[in-house]
């Protein structure tokens, strides 16, 4: 899987978690771009992403990732 | 018992601190910049023996040693050794939380093993050390501290009274770096300490007398007096606790160390959640990172979230699941304050109830303001009402916090109904431990504190009010600080034996 494919698979997860079908995610998307993306929803989002990809992130990675691109990189490093 | 009054506002402590300050800045000149952390370490150990109950120093030392060992063990293992890592985690949790719980239970039952109470700073060093271990375990902290660094990180002496609950990565890292004497930082630190003395000795002590009169069993002060006593307690606790933080952060600043803030004008919060981001901030973030997030990521709550979403729909299900995790969180916050039910209610579950009620009614109020009444929900009038409402709700929690027990708190709330207003025979405003002059001093001091702290917040981008004063000409600058110094010296209430005010949060 490459970065593009990871981002493609992330999109429906984001739409589902934030309940908004207009969301398009790119590597540069940050929490500032999505209204409901606060620290609590971040945890819910990470839970959903982990289930989609069948892996578990470290708390350290969760708290330090800055944008969707970094999230994709963490996923790629785990595959 | 080996114990020597060493309160942060006592004369003894000031002498102790002056000595530390001199050695701390002189030593590097002799050693070429090395060894400062050993001054801090020695000071912390000596302080603990003098201020705590002497021999109980073995408790924080054992906790530090255990944490150091567990961190080493976790670092030595690869991340793939899931089971072994988990065993180490459990060992650390059992040792630290086990001793915390044991001493809390002893305290609750009135048992004093070997004639000792709980070790000084028990809740604080436990959380600081446990937080360090968990940060290493979670890969947030690299865990590079040697044994001395771990002991100092857990027992840095100013933190042993009332925190703040620092994280190693924002505190311990600084202890090991050399700090050359910086005149500006030294002066700023001492100024902040003085401000803490002002809040502690001039304001908090006086408020305490009113509070004690109202909250004495069968005091006879009913109705509005209960609320006067409770509002006074809110400000007593704020000036006591945040004043203590001013001293702790100020003296650290004088040592070249920058520790995290614990308060940011908490009584101006518009919601209970915001209040907890402004009051005891370091406890809130600790609980969020170490309890709340891990709970939400636990197998139980993830499965529960799915079940609830299937049953009540996605949005409601998610809310219900979050509230469930919050219930555990707030029970933990309440328990941290003490084993007694009044703390679990007043500092825990009551706040949980407020937050849940607030979130549950939010859609209704949003619809009411925007659709029905067509007013901006964020207008100034509504925001002001929210500040008052939030303060009132917090005060109800404080009734439990201050009362002797839960039944006493409930009785006070019942007696506090406004139409029951009554004072005992011979009682009244000027019979609550303060005569009219003392009341005057109290109100003027409170007004000064509120004005200064509001100004400080407003000027925060430019370095706060101390930076503003530092920019003044020599005479007005020193006039301000000398005026404050004399104000504190003349009007401070020193209590018996020139010892300080009791730090209310010390008991936790």
Q: What is the pTM of this model?
A: 0.90
Cβ distance A58 to B294 less than 8 Å, yes or no, reads: no
pLDDT of B497 above 80:
no
Min CA distance, A54 vs chain B (Å)? 14
Question: pLDDT at position B10, please?
Answer: 82
The 10s digit of each residue's pLDDT in B337-373 is 877 889 999 999 999 999 999 989 988 888 888 888 8
In chain A, the domains with their CATH numbers are 3-78 (1.10.1200.10)
Name the percent of chain B lying above pLDDT 70. Answer: 95
User: Contact at 8 Å (CB) between B196 and B250?
Assistant: yes
**Domain co-membership, B169 together with B212:** no
Residues B356, B421: one domain?
Answer: no
> Average per-residue pLDDT in chain A?
86
For residue B483, pLDDT over 70 is answered with yes
Q: What's the pLDDT score for residue B365? A: 87
Closest alpha carbon within chain B to A57: B138
Looking at residue B506, its pLDDT comes to 54
Cβ within 8 Å, pair A64-B314 = no
pLDDT of B501 > 50? The answer is: no
Give B508's pLDDT tier (boundaries 50, 70, 90). Answer: low
Q: Which of A1-5, A49-53, B371-375 has the highest mean pLDDT?
A: A49-53
CA distances from B380 to B259, B268, B278, B376, B454 (A): 34, 13, 20, 9, 17
**Is the domain of B371 the same as that of B487?**
no
Task: For B313, name the nearest residue in chain A, comparing CA atoms only.
Answer: A19
Is residue B73 classed exposed, middle or buried when 0-12, 13-18 and 19+ CB atoms within 10 A define those classes?
middle
Which SS3 state, helix, strand or coil, does residue B263 take?
A: coil
**What mean pLDDT is predicted for residues A15-44?**
86
Is B383 in the same domain as B492? no
ipTM for this prediction: 0.85
Chain A environment of B167 (Cβ under 8 Å) = none
Residue of A nearest to B140 (CA): A60
Work out the pLDDT band at B246, boundaries 50, 70, 90: very high
Q: What is the pLDDT of residue B498?
A: 40
B171 and B51 share one domain: yes
**Cβ–Cβ contact B139 with A under 8 A:** yes
Is B374 within a domain?
yes
Contact B318 A61 (CB under 8 A): no
**Which of B147, B175, B203 is the endpoint of a domain?**
B175
pLDDT digits (tens, 9 = 90+) for B375-407: 887 889 989 999 999 999 999 999 999 999 999
The C-alpha atoms of residue B52 and residue B48 are separated, in whole angstroms, by 5
pLDDT by residue (tens digit) across B113-163? 666 778 889 999 999 999 999 999 988 888 889 999 999 999 999 999 888
Q: Which residues of B are less than 8 Å from A40 in CB distance?
A: 296, 322
Which residue, among A21, A43, A54, would best test binding to B if mutated, counting the most B CBs under 10 Å from its CB? A43
**Total number of domains in chain B:** 3
Q: Determine the distance in angstroms separating the CA of A57 from the nearest CA of chain B, rounded to an integer.
A: 10
Nearest CA in chain A to B318: A44
pLDDT the model gives residue B69? 96
pLDDT of residue B504: 56
Structure tokens at B188: 């700023």
B269 within some domain:
no
What's the pLDDT band for B503 if we cut at 50, 70, 90?
A: low
Write the pLDDT tens digit of every residue in B421-467.
888 878 788 888 888 889 999 999 999 999 999 999 999 888 889 99
Asked if the C-beta of B271 comes within 8 angstroms of chain A's C-beta atoms, the answer is no
Per the CB < 8 A criterion, the answer to whether B200 and B243 are in contact is yes
Q: Which of B86, B134, B140 to mutate to test the interface with A (most CBs of A within 10 A)?
A: B140
Test mutation, B138, B142, B309, B325, chain A, max A CBs within 10 A: B138
Which range marks the domain in which residue B218 is found? Answer: 183-263+417-507
Where is the domain boundary, B175, B195, B215?
B175
Inside any domain, residue B153: yes
Return phi, psi of residue B417, to 5°: -60, 130
How do residues B311-344 score in pLDDT, each as one tens digit?
998 888 889 999 999 999 999 999 888 778 899 9
The length of chain A in residues reads 79
> What's the pLDDT tens digit per position in B34-74?
789 999 999 999 999 988 777 889 999 999 999 999 999 99
Alpha-carbon distance B429 to B228, whole Å?
10
Say whether A59 and B302 touch across the interface (CB within 8 A): no
Please report where in the chains the tokens 């001091």 appear, as a residue: B445
Residues B120 and B81 in one domain: yes
Mean pLDDT of chain B: 89
């Amino acid at each position: 899987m490459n970065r593009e494919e990871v981002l493609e698979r992330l999109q429906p997860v984001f739409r589902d978690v934030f309940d908004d079908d207009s969301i398009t995610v790119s590597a540069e998307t940050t929490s500032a771009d999505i209204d409901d993306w606060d620290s609590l929803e971040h945890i819910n989002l990470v839970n959903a992403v982990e289930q989609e990809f069948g892996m578990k992130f470290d708390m350290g990675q969760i708290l330090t990732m800055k944008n969707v691109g970094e999230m994709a990189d963490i996923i790629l490093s785990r595959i | 018992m080996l114990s020597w009054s060493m309160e942060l506002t006592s004369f003894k402590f000031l002498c102790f601190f002056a000595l530390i300050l001199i050695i701390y800045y002189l030593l590097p000149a002799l050693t070429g910049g090395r060894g400062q952390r050993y001054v801090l370490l020695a000071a912390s150990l000596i302080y603990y023996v003098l201020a705590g109950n002497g021999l109980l120093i073995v408790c924080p030392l054992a906790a530090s040693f255990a944490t150091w060992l567990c961190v080493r063990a976790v670092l030595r293992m690869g991340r793939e050794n899931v089971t072994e890592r988990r065993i180490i985690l459990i060992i650390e949790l059992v040792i630290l939380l086990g001793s915390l719980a044991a001493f809390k239970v002893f305290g609750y039952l009135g048992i004093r093993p070997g004639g000792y109470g709980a070790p000084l700073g028990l809740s604080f060093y436990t959380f600081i050390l446990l937080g360090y271990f968990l940060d290493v375990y979670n890969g947030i902290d690299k865990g590079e501290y040697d044994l001395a660094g771990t002991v100092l990180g857990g027992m840095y002496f100013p933190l042993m009274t009332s925190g703040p609950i620092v994280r190693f990565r924002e505190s311990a890292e600084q202890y090991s770096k050399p700090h050359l004497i910086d005149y500006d930082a030294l002066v700023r630190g001492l100024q902040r300490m003085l401000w803490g003395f002002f809040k502690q000795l001039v304001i908090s002590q006086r408020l305490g007398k009113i509070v004690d009169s109202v909250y004495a069993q069968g005091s006879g002060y009913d109705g509005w007096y209960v609320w006067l006593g409770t509002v006074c307690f809110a400000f007593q606790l704020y000036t006591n606790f945040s004043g203590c933080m001013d001293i702790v952060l100020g003296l650290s600043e004088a040592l070249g160390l920058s520790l995290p803030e614990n308060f940011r004008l908490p009584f101006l919060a518009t919601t209970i959640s915001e209040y907890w981001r402004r009051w005891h901030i370091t406890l809130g973030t600790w609980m969020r990172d170490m309890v709340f997030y891990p709970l939400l990521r636990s197998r139980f709550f993830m499965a529960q979230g799915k079940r609830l979403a299937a049953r009540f729909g996605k949005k409601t299900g998610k809310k219900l699941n979050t509230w469930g995790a919050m219930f555990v969180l707030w029970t933990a916050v309440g328990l941290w304050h003490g084993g007694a039910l009044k703390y679990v209610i007043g500092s825990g579950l009551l706040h949980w109830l407020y937050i849940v009620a607030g979130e549950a009614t939010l859609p209704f109020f949003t619809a009411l303001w925007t659709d029905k009444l067509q007013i901006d929900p964020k207008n100034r009038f509504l925001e002001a009402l929210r500040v008052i409402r939030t303060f009132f709700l917090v005060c109800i929690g404080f009734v439990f916090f201050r009362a002797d027990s839960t039944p006493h708190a409930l009785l006070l709330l019942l007696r506090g109904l406004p139409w029951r207003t009554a004072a005992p025979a011979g009682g009244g405003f000027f019979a609550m431990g303060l005569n009219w002059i003392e009341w005057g001093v109290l109100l003027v001091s409170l007004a000064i504190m509120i004005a200064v702290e509001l100004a400080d917040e407003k000027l925060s981008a430019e370095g706060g009010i101390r930076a503003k004063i530092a920019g003044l000409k020599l005479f007005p600058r020193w006039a301000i600080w000398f005026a404050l110094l004399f104000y504190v010296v003349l009007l401070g209430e020193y209590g018996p034996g020139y010892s300080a005010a009791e730090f209310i949060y010390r008991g936790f």
